[in-house]
Amino acid sequence: MDRLDPELVEPLEGLMQATGGGFDLGDLEATRAMVAGMIAGVIAEAPPTAGIAIEDLPVPSHERGVAVPVRLYRPAAAAGPLPVLLWMHPGGFVLGSIEMDELMARQLAAGLGIAVVSVGYRLAPEHPYPAPLDDCYGALEWLGAEAAGLGLDAGRIAVGGASAGGNLAAATCLCARDRGGPTPVLQLLVYPSLDDSNIEPASETVPENLFWSRANTRACWHAYLNGQEASADVPEYAAPIRAKSLGGLPNAFIGVGTADMFLDENIAYAERLAAAGAEVDLAVYPGAFHAFDSFAPAARVAQRFAADRNAALRRAFG
């Protein structure tokens, strides 16, 4: 752990102890239950966020006949139309729920005076690609059509997500470009998992993700892509690093740590976006591991990340 930010070492050790050495996807249902329990405990211990109205809504997936749960957070006293962040939670395509980022959504709504719509997309392996992406893109289509009636601004929609959610956010922006959907003002990509071929074993130059192993990443891509990972048959909407063109996409904020296995693909995606004409804010955090902001929010590096993320949203929303 000598390459880690010193303030992240103790939180990481606590996480490893709480998870018995890291998340194990060998028993997916047990891990889902453990994650849900951890999230419920964190939410129960958090102080209430005053002045935030929360509403659960069903919205149509892009896949016909499927309803997707979303949760809308907004300042209760704010006058509209409000800018809105459409958010996709992390979890390797196989874990997680709207509740995973409950506290972050509340804090963003309160601190920035914006609305946040968190998407409860379907999970693999029960629902492999394209089902999760259909749910996220369907939520964007719904926002574009229904924003005015909700007191939201359809012209100020940011699309964001973390890890696998960052993949879905990037892919949602690709879909919006190619299908003529609502045009986001920003893609907020937090250590996104973009490359299905980034599944080789860890080495001196390729970091292990500590609590989230590279074996887990392989298993998640396998579940999401129905066993087609790292093959010629993977669509660019499933692994956005494969996109032939990144032209015409929204400006981007990409945040990732130096101890994150997705660092190289995040840098490569940022460089390609910039070369294609997007304004890209690439923030690389020394000594930060995957999901450092969630597991060590009090660390100074996590606070820098939060400030950078919030500043990117403020700029995009004007």
Q: List, by residue number, the catalytic residues.
A: 163, 260, 290
Whole-angstrom Cα distance, residue 306 to residue 284?
Answer: 13
Alpha-carbon Rg of the chain, whole angstroms? 18
For residue 240, give both structure tokens: 């956005």
CA 57 to chain centre: 20
What is the distance in angstroms between the CA of the first residue and the CA of the last residue of the chain? 40
- How many residues in total does the chain contain? 318
Query: What one-character DSSP code corresponds to residue 250?
Result: P
Quickly list DSSP for 60-87. Answer: E-SSTT-EEEEEEEEETT--SPEEEEEE
Whole-angstrom Cα distance, residue 114 to residue 315?
Answer: 13
E strands along the chain, which residues? 52-60, 67-75, 82-88, 115-119, 152-162, 186-190, 252-259, 280-289
For residue 120, give both structure tokens: 């409860």
Contact 312, 188 (CB under 8 A): yes
CA dist 215 → 151, 199, 208, 220 (Å): 44, 8, 9, 9
For residue 17, give both structure tokens: 């102890």
Which 3 state secondary structure label does DSSP give 293? helix
For residue 97, give both structure tokens: 């729920």
For residue 163, give both structure tokens: 């890890």
CA dist 270 → 54, 98, 193, 245 (Å): 34, 27, 13, 13
Which 3 state secondary structure label does DSSP give 285? strand
For residue 187, give both structure tokens: 């893609």
